[in-house]
Amino acid sequence: MQHYICTGECHGESSNPGVCQVEDCKKEGEPLTPCNCPDSTHHNPAPQEGEKDGE
């Protein structure tokens, strides 16, 4: 079922849409990304504008 994840370093997960609320996360206050993975791997979240892969 659909859930929402934070793509910042907190890797937060929620069953409801919302924003990241982790103070130390780069994505604090930014909308969570919709994800439909069946096994909590979050390997295929919906693409998000401005997304950057941390290296």
User: Binding residues for Zn ion, how many (CB under 5 A)?
Assistant: 11
Judged by CB under 5 A, does residue 19 bind Zn ion? no
- Eight-state DSSP code of residue 24: T
Site for Zn ion contains 8 (CB under 5 A) = yes
Q: Which long-range contacts does 28-33 make (Cβ < 8 Å, 24+ apart)?
A: 30/6, 32/4, 32/5, 32/6, 33/4, 33/5, 33/6, 33/7
Least gap, CB of 26 to Zn ion (angstroms): 7
Q: Which residues bind Zn ion (CB under 5 A)?
A: 6, 8, 10, 12, 20, 22, 25, 27, 35, 37, 42
